[in-house]
C-alpha cells in the first residue's frame, strides 16, 4: 500500500518535507484527543489534503471508533485515499467502511507469540484489510512512541506475512533501519519519531527517517 507513511501531519510544510524526502504516504488524524488532530470541518484540512494529493502522496485518514457514515462523510469532505481504523472497532461494524482500508493491530510491548499475532490479525486480513502493527497505547490508541518486539513480528511474518503489512510503533531515525532488518517489513509508519517538540513535525527528522528507511 505504501513504503513509508508519516502520520499526523498538520501543515503544508509537513507535506513538502515528506515529498522532498521521498515518502509516499501521509496520515491525517481525526481523533480529537490526539495532539495530531486536524479538524475535518476546516478549510485548512481540505487544502492540506489537496496539497498531499498534488505531491502524489497517499492520504490516509486515521479514525478511532467512528461510525462508517461519519468516516464516509469525512473522506468525501476532506478528500482521502484510504481509511485507517485505529480504535476498538469490531470487524462487523468495520466491514461496512468503504476501502482501501487499514486496520491497526495493537500488540503488547515485549515478546509475543506468533499465535497471538495471527489470531489478532487474520480475521482482518481475510476481510481485505491491510494490517498495521502498532504498540498498544491504551486510551491514547496510537502515537505513543512505544515499540514492539520486532523479532516476534518477524516470526509471524515468516509464517503468515505473505499478504503485505506495515510496522509502526516508536520508529524513529535511530531505530528504523534495525526495525526493518529485524522484522522483515517492507512498509513502515511513524508519528512521534519525527517530531520535535511532540506534535510538531521536523523536516530534518523526516528527511533522516526516510534516509534510514531507504537503506
Ligand atoms: O498519532 C496519534 O496521535 C494517534 C492517536 C490515535 C490513534 C492513532 C494515532 N496514530 C496513528 C499512527 O499510525 C501512528 O503513526 C502510530 O500509532 C505510531 O505512532 P508512534 O509510536 O508515535 O510512531
Q: Can you tell me the ipTM of this complex? A: 0.99
131 C-alpha vs ligand 1 centroid, how far in Å?
14
* pTM, full prediction: 0.98
Distance, CA of 44 to CA of 156 (rounded, Å): 41
Percent of the chain with pLDDT over 90: 98
Distance, CA of 34 to CA of 3 (rounded, Å): 24
- Average pLDDT estimate for 30-38: 98
176 lines ligand 1 (CB under 6 A): no
The three cell numbers locating residue 210: 526516510
193 C-alpha vs ligand 1 centroid, how far in Å?
10
State how far the alpha carbon of 81 is from the alpha carbons of 49, 50, 74, 143, in Å. 10, 11, 11, 21
7 lines ligand 1 (CB under 6 A): yes
Closest to 174 (Cα-Cα) out of 193, 198, 161:
193
Assigned CATH class of 4-213: alpha beta
205 lines ligand 1 (CB under 6 A): no
Closest to 27 (Cα-Cα) out of 124, 141, 138:
141
Q: Answer yes or no: is pLDDT of 105 > 90.
A: yes
CB–CB of 165/186 below 8 Å? no
Amino acid at each position: 500500500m505504501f513504503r513509508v507513511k508519516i502520520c499526523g501531519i498538520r501543515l503544508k510544510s509537513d507535506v513538502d518535507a515528506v515529498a522532498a524526502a521521498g515518502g509516499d504516504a501521509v496520515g491525517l488524524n481525526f481523533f480529537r484527543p490526539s495532539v495530531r488532530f486536524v479538524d475535518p470541518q476546516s478549510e485548512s484540512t481540505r487544502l492540506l489534503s489537496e496539497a498531499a494529493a498534488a505531491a502524489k502522496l497517499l492520504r490516509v485518514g486515521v479514525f478511532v471508533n467512528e461510525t462508517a457514515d461519519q468516516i464516509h462523510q469525512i473522506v468525501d469532505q476532506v478528500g482521502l485515499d484510504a481509511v485507517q481504523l485505529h480504535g476498538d472497532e469490531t470487524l462487523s461494524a468495520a466491514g461496512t467502511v468503504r476501502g482501501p482500508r487499514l486496520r491497526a493491530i495493537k500488540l503488547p510491548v515485549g515478546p509475543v507469540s506468533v499465535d497471538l499475532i495471527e489470531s489478532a490479525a487474520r480475521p482482518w486480513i481475510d476481510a481485505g484489510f491491510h494490517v498495521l502493527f502498532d504498540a498498544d497505547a491504551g486510551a491514547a490508541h496510537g502515537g505513543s512512541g512505544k515499540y514492539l518486539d520486532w523479532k516476534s513480528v518477524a516470526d509471524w511474518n515468516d509464517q503468515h506475512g505473505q499478504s503485505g503489512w506495515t510496522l509502526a510503533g516508536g520508529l524513529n531515525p535511530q531505530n528504523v533501519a534495525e526495525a526493518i532488518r529485524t522484522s522483515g517489513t517492507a512498509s513502515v509508519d511513524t508519528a512521534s519519531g519525527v517530531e520535535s517538540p511532540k506534535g510538531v513535525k521536523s523536516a530534518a527528522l523526516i528527511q533522516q527517517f526516510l534516509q534510514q528507511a531507504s537503506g
